[in-house]
Amino acid sequence: MEGYIAIFAEERGGALRKASLEVLSRAATLKDLGKMGILLLLFGKQLDAALKRARSYADRVVPVTADPETLRVDSVLPLLQKHLHGAPCLFFFSSATPLAVTLLSHISSELSIPFVSQAVDMKIEDGNILFKKPLFGGKIFVWLEAKTPLAVAFRSNTFPIREISLNGSVVEEESQLEEDSRIRICSVEERNRKAVSLEEADFVICGGLGLKEARNFDLLEEIAEKVGGAVGASRGAVDAGLRPYEDQIGKSGKTVSPKVYIGCGVSGAIHHIMGVDTSRIIVAINKDREAPIFKHSDYGIVDDLFQILPILKEALKKLKS
Partner 1 sequence: MKILAFIKQVPDSEARVTLKEGGKGIEVEEKWEIGYFDAMALEEAVRIKERLGQGEVVAVSVGDKSAIEALRTSIAIGADKACLIEWEGPTFLYPSSVSRLLASFAQKEGYDIILCGKKAMDDENGSVPCMVSALLGLPFVPNVSKIESIEGNKMTLFSEREDKRLGLEVQLPAVLTAEKGLNEPRIPSVSAAIKALAKEIPVLKADSLISQEDIAWEKGMIRPVLFEPPPPRPEVRLIEGTPEEKVEKLVELLKMEGVL
Considering only residues 25 to 64 of the shown chain, the ones binding partner 1 according to CB under 8 A are none
- CA 121 to CA 154: how far, in whole Å? 8
- CA 313 to CA 244: how far, in whole Å? 23
Which member of 45, 52, 82, 147 binds partner 1 (CB under 8 A)?
Answer: 147
Site for partner 1 in 226-245 (CB under 8 A): 227, 245
What is the smallest separation between the CB atom of 172 and partner 1, expressed in angstroms? 30
What is the smallest separation between the CB atom of 60 and partner 1, expressed in angstroms? 26
- CA 113 to CA 108: how far, in whole Å? 5
Which of these ranges, 40-48, 56-64, 213-221, 255-263, lies near partner 1 under the rule CB under 8 A? 255-263
Does 109 interact with partner 1 (rule: CB under 8 A)?
yes
Chain mean position to CA 228: 16
Which member of 189, 213, 241, 321 binds partner 1 (CB under 8 A)?
Answer: 189
- If the CB atoms of residues 1 and 135 are measured against partner 1, the closer one turns out to be 135
Question: Containing H/E element for 177?
Answer: none
Which member of 15, 25, 51, 114 binds partner 1 (CB under 8 A)?
Answer: 114
Which member of 32, 35, 86, 98 binds partner 1 (CB under 8 A)?
Answer: 98
- If the CB atoms of residues 141 and 169 are measured against partner 1, the closer one turns out to be 141
**Three-class DSSP category at 231:** strand
Question: Containing H/E element for 130?
Answer: strand 128-135
Which member of 7, 42, 58, 146 binds partner 1 (CB under 8 A)?
Answer: 146
Does 178 interact with partner 1 (rule: CB under 8 A)?
no
The DSSP secondary-structure symbol of 45 reads S
Query: Using alpha carbons only, how large is the chain's radius of gyration in Å?
Result: 21
Find the DSSP H helices in 8-62: 18-31, 48-54
Site for partner 1 in 66-95 (CB under 8 A): 69-70, 73-74
Question: Which of 262, 254, 191, 253 is closest to 226 using CA atoms?
Answer: 262
b/e code 166-191 from CB counts within 10 Å (16+ = b): bebebbeeebebeeeeeeeeeeeeee
Which member of 142, 195, 228, 288 binds partner 1 (CB under 8 A)?
Answer: 142
- If the CB atoms of residues 164 and 214 are measured against partner 1, the closer one turns out to be 214
Computed from CA positions of residues 272, 274, 275, 279, in that sequence, does the dihedral angle turn out positive or negative? Answer: positive
What is the smallest separation between the CB atom of 169 and partner 1, expressed in angstroms? 30
Which member of 127, 165, 186, 215 binds partner 1 (CB under 8 A)?
Answer: 186
Q: Confirm if 40 and 169 have CB atoms less than 8 A apart.
A: no
* Pattern 284-313, partner 1, x by CB under 8 A: x---------xxxxxxxxxx---xx--xx-
Size of the site for partner 1 (CB under 8 A): 94
Question: Which of 174, 165, 239 is closest to 208 using CA atoms?
Answer: 239
- If the CB atoms of residues 56 and 118 are measured against partner 1, the closer one turns out to be 118
Question: Which of 95, 111, 89 is closest to 39 using CA atoms?
Answer: 89
- If the CB atoms of residues 168 and 250 are measured against partner 1, the closer one turns out to be 250
Site for partner 1 in 259-278 (CB under 8 A): 259-260, 270-271, 274, 277-278
What is the smallest separation between the CB atom of 216 and partner 1, expressed in angstroms? 17
The residue type of 104 is L
Q: How many CB atoms lie within 10 A of CB 237?
A: 26
- If the CB atoms of residues 34 and 228 are measured against partner 1, the closer one turns out to be 228
